[in-house]
Structure 1
Amino acid sequence: MPHRTVNLHLVSDSTGETLNSIARATLARFEDIRVIHHRWSLVRSRLQLDRVLEGIEHEPGPVLFTLVDRSLRHALEEACARLNLACLSPLDGVMDLLQSTIGATAREKRAAQHVMDADYFRRIDAMHYVLSHDDGQGTAGIAEADVCLVGVSRSSKTPTCFYLANRGIKAANVPIVPGAALPPELESPPCPVVGLHIEVNALIDIRRHRLRLIGAAGVRQDANDYIDHEAVKSEIVAARRLCTARGWPVIDVTRRSIEETAATVLQLMEAWHARRHLAEARTEPSDPAATVLGHPS
C-alpha cells in the first residue's frame, strides 16, 4: 500500500505534454508514493489562472509550471509563496543555459513547439503513411519509407511505427508469416530494415489476450499454431534466422517499452545512413578530373 499521497499540479499555457513527460520520468524513480496529478492546460488568462489557484488551494501540493506570460507566472509564484507550496518552472535552467551559450534572449512565445510548421505537417504525413502501410499493406510504398520494421505477428510493430510517426518518421511494417514470402521490395530495401524479436512465452501471452479480445475463446488454444509453444518457438527462430541472413539488425522487445524500442530504431537508422554515406564516399574518385582523363587516382 502507498505510504503517502501527494497532490502534484501541472500548470501550462499549452498542452502540458512537456510537464507530463517530466513528471512521468521523475516520478518513476519513487516507490510507495501515490501521486494525484492535477493537469491545468491552456492557461492563458487571469480568469483561467484564478480557477487554477482555487484548485491548488483546495488540494495543496507542489506546482510545476510552464507559463510564458510574466504576469501569470508572477501571480502563480506569489500565490504558491502565500500558501507555502513549492513552485518550479523546470525549463528555466535549460533556458538560462542556452541563452548564455547562444548569446541571445529567447522569444516569449507560448506553445512554440506546437506551431503548424513543416515539421508538424511531416508528422501528420508520417501518420497517414503508417495507416496506409501497416501490417504489410501497400508494400510498393516501402520505397517511400524511412524505415521498415519486420517481425512475427504481435511483436509490437504497429505501435512502434505510430510512435515513430509522431517523430516524423515514415515507418512501414511487414509481418514475417510462416510459409509466406516477403514482398520483393525487401530484396534490395531502399531504407533500413529492423527486425523485432520477442520471447516465446511473452508472445504466447500477448496472442492469447488477442484471441480473447476478438472473441476467439472457443478456439482450442492447445491445438492452435498461433499460440502453440513449439509452433511459436519455430516461428520466432525462423524470423530471427531470416533477419540474420539478410543482415538486418534485431531488437529484443520482450522487456522494452515502445519508447525504448523506437529510440533504438532511431539509433539503428542513424548507423545505417552513416554506413551508407561512408560507402558512397569510398566509391567516389578523389579527383573527378583524373577519372575523366582515364587516370583515376
Structure 2
Amino acid sequence: MVRAASSQFNAGTIDIRKIPFVHDPAEITQIVKEINAFPGVIVYTLVLPELQEVMEKEAAKYNLTTVDIMTPLLNALTKIEGKQPKGEPGLVRKISEEYFYKMEAIEFAVKYDDGRDPRGITRADIVVIGVSRTSKTPLCMYLAHKCIKAANIPLVPEIAPPEEVFQIPRYRVVGLTIQPQKLVEFRTERLKTLGLAPNADYAKMERILKELFYAEEVMRRIGCFVIDVTNKAVEETASRVLE
C-alpha cells in the first residue's frame, strides 16, 4: 500500500523500511527515535489500542506524521460484522503457520501410510496400528488436519511389525480393533468394490479371528492404548486419540 501511494509521486527511490512483530511499547519508542534520524512518514498496522497510543505520543514528540491503517478498517468491519475484533496481534502469521504445519502433516500421513517406510515410526507424533479395514488411514488423515503427524502400520500374522514400534514410547501408539462380524462386512464390501470374489480368505471369519487375535497380542506386548472402532465414525475415534 505504501509503495502504491509513493508511486503516485514518481517516488520510486523512497526508502521503505518494514518492521514486523512489534509487540512492546519500548520497541515503539526505539523505532520512532531511529526514524527521527531520517524523518519520514510512519505507517502502522498496530492492533492493540495501547500500542497505537504509544506510537502517536512518541511520534508527536518529533513532529513525525503517522498513518494508522488498521483502525479505520477495523471500525468499518465492526459495523458490518456487528461484533468487536479479537484485538490479537499476529493472527495472519499464526494462520499461515498452522496451514504450513497442516500441509506438512498431510504429506507425512501419505508418505508413511500402510507401513511403507518404518522410518516414519520414530518421526511420528502418533503411530496407529491395526488389522486391515479398521480405518487406520482415514484416522491418520483426520489427525493430519489437526496438524498431528501420524503413521500407520498394518498388523498381519505372517509379517512381524517393525521393531521401531516396540521402541518408541507406548503412549505414542494407538491400537485399533473391531468386532469380527463388522470386519467381515467391511472386507466383503471391499472385495466387491475391487471386483473380487467375496468369499476370499480375506473376508472369512476364520482368517479375521486369526488376525484380530494376533493384533491383540501385539498391542498387549506394546502396552498401547486400544480403541474399538466398531460403529464409530473417524471423528469419534480421533477424539479418543486426542483426549
Question: 173, 177, 181: which is aligned to 1:197?
Answer: 177
Is the counterpart of residue 264 in structure 1 residue 240 in structure 2?
yes
Which of 196, 203, 206 matches 2:186?
Answer: 206
For 2:95 and 2:158, the matched residues in 1 are separated by 45
Partner of 1:243: 219
Root mean square deviation, CA, Å: 2.4
Deviation by residue 1:244-270 (Cα, 9 ceiling, x = unmatched): 122112100002111111111122xxx
Report the TM-score, using the length of structure 2 for normalisation: 0.62
- How does 1:211-222 map onto structure 2 within 5 Å? 211-216=191-196, 219=197, 221-222=198-199
Partner amino acid for 1:210? R
Aligned residues: 166
Asked which structure has the greater RCO (Cα within 8 Å, sep 6+), the reply is 2
Contact 2:156–2:214 (8 Å) recurs in 1: no
* Offset from partner CA, 1:25-83 (integer Å, 9 cap, x none): xxxxxxxxxxxxxxxxxxxxxxxxxxxxxxxxxxxxxxxxxxx9344346xxxxxxxxx
Q: Secondary structure at the match of 1:169?
A: coil
Which residue of structure 1 aligns with residue 77 of structure 2? 69
The answer to whether the Cα contact below 8 Å between 2:115 and 2:152 also exists between their aligned partners in 1 is: yes
Q: Deviations over 1:133-152 (max 9, x none)?
A: 00001111222100100000
Q: 1:213 to 1:143 in 2, by over 3 A?
A: same
For residues 210-258 of structure 1, the C-alpha deviation after alignment (integer angstroms, 9 at most, x for no partner) is 1111121xx2x33x22111121112112211220122112100002111
Residue identity opposite 1:168 in structure 2: C
Contact 1:143 1:189 in 2 (8 A): yes
- Equivalent-residue separation in structure 1 for 2:160 and 2:100 (angstroms): 35
Gaps of 5+ in 1: 1-67, 75-91, 96-104, 268-297
TM-score if structure 1 supplies the norm length?
0.51
- Which ranges in structure 2 are unaligned for 5 or more consecutive residues? 1-75
Deviates most, 114-123 or 231-240: 114-123
Q: Secondary structure at the match of 1:119?
A: helix
Structure 2 CA distance, aligned partners of 1:243 and 1:114?
Answer: 41
Paired with 1:261 and 1:202, the residues of 2 have a C-alpha distance of 16
Q: 2:188 is matched by which residue type in structure 1?
A: R
Q: Which residue of 2 aligns with 1:5?
A: none
Aligned counterpart for 2:134 among listed residues 150, 155, 165: 155
Closer, same or farther in 2 for the Cα pair 1:141/1:108, shift >3 Å?
A: closer
Partner of 1:168: 147
| Separation in structure 2 between the aligned mates of residue 138 and residue 116 of structure 1, nearest angstrom | 31
CA distance in 1, matches of 2:136, 2:160: 18
What is the Cα deviation at residue 189 of structure 1?
Answer: 1.6
CA–CA distance in structure 2, aligned partners of residues 156 and 113 of structure 1: 34
1:228 aligns with 2:208: no
Q: Does the 8 Å contact 1:114/1:120 carry over to 2?
A: no
Cα gap change, 1:248 to 1:235, in 2 (>3 Å): same
CA distance in 2, matches of 1:108, 1:69: 15
SS of 1:127 mapped into structure 2: helix
Distance in 1 (alpha carbons) for counterparts of 2:97 and 2:131: 35
Q: How many angstroms apart in 2 are the aligned matches of 1:208 and 1:122? A: 37
